[in-house]
Structure 1
Amino acid sequence: MLKLIQFSGKFLKIFFFGIIPFILLSGGSKGDVDYLRIEKGTCSFNVEGNINFHLDGLATFTNVTEQDKFGNTTDKLLLSFTSGTDGEIQTLEFIIAAKSKKHHGVTLGVHRIKNLDRLLNRFSGVYGFADLGSVSELPFFIKSGDIIITEIFSNKVDGKLEVQLENANGETLNVEGSFNADIKV
């Protein structure tokens, strides 16, 4: 009986201090798994609104540095996502603009959508639009949300986005997903 108690005590120690931490550490999150499935140069978005659909397509980007007549420099990251479904091209484009100071380029991290109540000249923030002919004849413009840049190199940009788009009729679309964009040649 004493040997059985010693054996079960050792078993419990191994179970609680060896097996349970291993199980917890090997779990991972669903978001990470979805992100890993994105192939180089592609995007994958869920779109919800009047109609729900999934948008898979090509993802490209361009880095642009602009200087205005006052000498102010703005770095812009232009993200372009296109998908051809049923012979119709659907496009999502986003511009992340940041005033250049000590370092150049758009930074890693969360880029929040700001209200766009002026022209894009000297704009710092995120601007975006979608041309989804199968959903509406009117273009959708970005209203709220975040674009998260997780990696940025000279030849690729990885990230996630969760944004709300709205057209002139007040119809809204929620777009959520991941991208792995190649540099546009």
Structure 2
Amino acid sequence: MPQKFQKRLKLGLWVILPLLLISFISRGLSNNYPDLESGTYQLNAIGAANTLLKGNIFSQQDEVISSKGRLLSTLKLNFEDNENSGELPIQFLISVDTDKQTISTGKYNISRYISGFMNNFDGVFGYANLSMLGEKPFFTRKGELVITEHSRDLVSGTLDVILEDVHGESLHLQGSFSALND
């Protein structure tokens, strides 16, 4: 009898223990971004600056013709600085070939190598020029921008990107946004 009990106990532990571990790991990995008011953003900055960035954001969607004659759909996300109103310290540009797709909900990856903005650029490019860092520009190197809601009036989502300056210093931005269409 004790041997059967031991086998059942071991089997039970082998089933229950992994389930417990998986449930704790998945909680830690989830991005718990706050609910934002329309037209605002909240980003955690880590690296060159360790701070919480908040402010207003607006988006502009347009269609342009590339130098090769292809129709591109573009979406600009303009992050305003609350401390220096009117300045645009952070901006992201999503560009897709309209023959392949249009900009809607989904994941958009950073395009590391861009030969020209109007030369069939497909992906995400961004920069940050924060006054707290001496206004030295940081440019996107890797990461993703996820659009979770896209309507005529609003573009919402999350971003997790790493930017670098010319000296190789990095700035990791992670957070959420709810941009009003301009």
**What's the TM-score once normalised by structure 2's chain length?**
0.77
CA deviations on 1:107-151 (whole Å, 9 max, x unpaired) are: 211101121241112211111001102113311101100000001
Aligned counterpart, 2:45? 47
Equivalent residue pairs, number = 154
Tell me, yes or no, if the aligned pair for 1:88 and 1:134 is still in contact at 8 Å. Answer: no
Aligned counterpart, 1:107? 104
**2:134 is aligned with 1:136:** yes
For 1:108 and 1:86, locate their aligned partners in 2 and report how far apart those are by CA, in whole Å.
Answer: 31
For 2:117 and 2:157, locate their aligned partners in 1 and report how far apart those are by CA, in whole Å.
Answer: 23
For 1:115 and 1:74, locate their aligned partners in 2 and report how far apart those are by CA, in whole Å.
Answer: 19
Aligned counterpart, 1:169? 167
* 1:14-93 correspondence to structure 2 within 5 Å: 31-32=31-32, 34-36=33-35, 38-68=36-66, 70-85=68-83, 89=87, 91-93=89-91
Tell me, yes or no, if the aligned pair for 1:88 and 1:133 is still in contact at 8 Å. Answer: no
For 1:168 and 1:67, locate their aligned partners in 2 and report how far apart those are by CA, in whole Å.
Answer: 30
Residue 86 of structure 1: how far off its partner (Å): 7.1
Q: State the structure with more CA Rg.
A: 1
Q: Secondary structure at the match of 1:163?
A: strand
Tell me, yes or no, if the aligned pair for 1:76 and 1:97 is still in contact at 8 Å. Answer: yes
Aligned counterpart, 1:180? 178
Residue 153 of structure 1: how far off its partner (Å): 0.6
Q: Secondary structure at the match of 1:157?
A: strand
Q: Percent identity?
A: 29
**2:156 is aligned with 1:158:** yes
Tell me, yes or no, if the aligned pair for 1:111 and 1:148 is still in contact at 8 Å. Answer: yes
Could you tell me which runs of 5 or more consecutive residues in structure 2 were left unpaired when the two chains were aligned: 1-26
Residue 30 of structure 1: how far off its partner (Å): 6.5
Distance 1:151 1:135, change over 3 A: same
For 2:68 and 2:116, locate their aligned partners in 1 and report how far apart those are by CA, in whole Å.
Answer: 17
Residue 102 of structure 1: how far off its partner (Å): 6.4
Q: Secondary structure at the match of 2:31?
A: helix
Aligned counterpart, 2:13? none
